[in-house]
Structure 1
C-alpha cells in the first residue's frame, strides 16, 4: 500500500517518459478488460524505475569493456543479472 500511496502523490508532478495509451493497450492485450488510470500510472512508474536501473547496470558493463556506447550485449547482461 505504501508504494501505491507514494506513486499517487507524485503522479500529478511527473512528466512521463513512456506513453500512457500503448501501455494501456498492452494491459488490455494481456486480458485486462477495464484498467484504471491509477493502475496504469503505477505500472508506468515501475517500468520507468526498472528501465533506469537496467540502464545504469548496462553502463557498468560497457565501462568494464572500456566503451562509452551501451551495446545490446550490455543490456542483455544487465537484464540477466537483475
Structure 2
C-alpha cells in the first residue's frame, strides 16, 4: 500500500480519500498522488469561491446597515428639529 500526501482543506482531503478507495474497490487503475492532489486543489478553489460569496454577502449586509443607520439619523434630526411654521421668534 502506498502512502500519499494529500493537499487541501481537511474536508476536501477526506472526500478525495474516499473517492480513491471507491475507485480501487471498483478495480480501476488510479494514480493516487495525481488524482487526489487535483481533487484537493479543486476543493480549494471551491473554498475560495465560498469565501468570496461570504465576503460579498457581508459587504451587502454592511451597506444595508449603513443605509438603515443613515435613515434613522435623518428621522431623528427631523423629529428633533422644530418645525418652521413661518413664525419668527
TM-score between the two structures when normalised by the length of structure 1? 0.46
Which fold has the larger relative contact order, with Cα–Cα distance below 8 Å and residues 6 or more apart in sequence?
2
Answer 1 or 2: which has greater helix percent: 2
TM-score between the two structures when normalised by the length of structure 2? 0.43
